[in-house]
A and B are shown apart, each in its own frame.
Chain A
Amino acid sequence: MKGSEELVRRLPNDIGGISAGPIQRTDHELEPWEKRCHALADVIDFHKILNTEEKRKGVEALGSEIVGRLSYYERWIVAFSNILFQKRILTPRELAEKMDEVAARDRG
């Protein structure tokens, strides 16, 4: 397919040097869950469960569509979940059931 070579040559994170639009000087105060997600990343790094390089690779492994559509910390928590499955620390079923429980608790 024409144009698909670029997807092969560059993984989603490998954007250094490509052309892009003007820099929008955006910033936002992290939402509480985003900050907790960051703290979680640091703590699991302290425990040698998941390091920075694994995090980056985990985000890259989500593929360009997910990388393009999810926000920064949304990408992170999805990547962490996948890595924790691969390391057999969590299972997909456990996470699905726990998410249902958390959502139910939130609905009160």
Chain B
Amino acid sequence: MSTQDTEHEHDRDHDHAHDEITAGDGIGYYETMEIAVRELLVSKGFIKPEEIRRQLEVLDSRTPALGARVVARAWLDDEFRARLLENGRKACEELGISFYDDTQLIVLENTDKVHNLIVCTLCSCYPRPVLGLPPDWYKNKPYRARAISEPRKVLAEFGTFIPNDVDVRVSDSTAMIRYLVLPRRPEGTETYNEDQLASLVTRDSMIGVVAAGVADPRTVK
């Protein structure tokens, strides 16, 4: 049995355990540990309960819609795009997107010569301030293991086929440096405003596993 299979069996076990929990069997071992660690840190004065509540709200406020707004602005405003590529964090902060951590953001622009893909081989580093929390597949073994050694095969599994004359570049995130892909603006969107453009930008297109959405003919005049 491969490690992959083991992980999946475990996922099923975990779901099952969760069902039992919601059926009224009380909180599980690890949730008990989370509550205990948090309460001990509060009672010892290291953290305050309102800091946890506040951070839960911050986490809820971060979704790929923020990244989509950044991308749409970059497509419309060349000077903004230049600033974004120069310093991703500063340009996002210009749009009111605060960085609640110490990370820097490098924005990687897709062109007709280069397609970018981001990964964190060691764990799960991700541009959380602009995209929210990563999907499970980003944190699991197959993507982390294979993205750097066979990116074209990985992309094909997402239905993305990059022509051979286009370079595929994979950037491996670290604790301090996070990446965001600036996808190519879809053709046929010349008349789109910022909101319409943002609606074409998905989370996966900013990870680099798919292209930004194709123009929806119903919205094009």
CB distance from B49 to the nearest CB of A (A): 10
A24, A43, A45: which contacts B140 (Cβ < 8 A)? Answer: A24
Say whether A16 contacts B148, CB under 8 Å: yes
In the complex, A38 Cα to B34 Cα: how many Å? Answer: 10
In the complex, A69 Cα to B9 Cα: how many Å? Answer: 9
Say whether A21 contacts B140, CB under 8 Å: no
Say whether A23 contacts B100, CB under 8 Å: no
Say whether A98 contacts B121, CB under 8 Å: no
Question: Whose C-beta in chain A lies nearest to the C-beta of B122?
Answer: A13
Interface residues in B99-133 (C-beta closer than 8 Å to A): 100-101, 119, 121-125, 133
Residues of B within 8 A of A77 (CB): 30, 33-34, 37
B59, B119, B136, B139: which contacts A39 (Cβ < 8 A)? Answer: B59
Residues of A within 8 A of B35 (CB): 33, 102
Say whether A20 contacts B146, CB under 8 Å: yes
Interface residues in A1-57 (C-beta closer than 8 Å to B): 13-28, 30-31, 33, 35-40, 42-47, 49, 51-53, 56
Residues of A within 8 A of B147 (CB): 16
Say whether B34 contacts A36, CB under 8 Å: yes
A40, A90, A106: which contacts B52 (Cβ < 8 A)? Answer: A40
Say whether B122 contacts A14, CB under 8 Å: yes
Say whether A19 contacts B46, CB under 8 Å: no
Question: Whose C-beta in chain A lies nearest to the C-beta of B143?
Answer: A23
Q: Mark A57-80, 1 if CB is under 8 A from B, else 0.
A: 001000000001111111001101
A20, A33, A43: which contacts B30 (Cβ < 8 A)? Answer: A33
Say whether B59 contacts A38, CB under 8 Å: yes
B6, B30, B47, B145: which contacts A68 (Cβ < 8 A)? Answer: B6
Question: Whose C-beta in chain B lies nearest to the C-beta of A108?
Answer: B26
> Which of B10-18, B71-79, B86-94, B191-199 lines the interface with chain A?
B10-18
A sample of 26 inter-chain contacts (CB < 8 A) reads A14-B122, A16-B119, A16-B121, A26-B11, A27-B136, A27-B137, A33-B34, A35-B59, A38-B133, A42-B58, A44-B47, A49-B46, A51-B175, A56-B123, A56-B175, A59-B123, A68-B3, A78-B30, A90-B37, A95-B36, A95-B40, A98-B39, A102-B32, A103-B27, A106-B26, A106-B27
Residues in A lying within 8 Å of B, measured CB to CB:
13-28, 30-31, 33, 35-40, 42-47, 49, 51-53, 56, 59, 68-74, 77-78, 80-81, 84, 89-90, 94-95, 98-99, 101-103, 106-107
Interchain residue pairs A-B with the least CB separation, the first 5: A16-B121, A52-B175, A20-B145, A98-B36, A39-B55
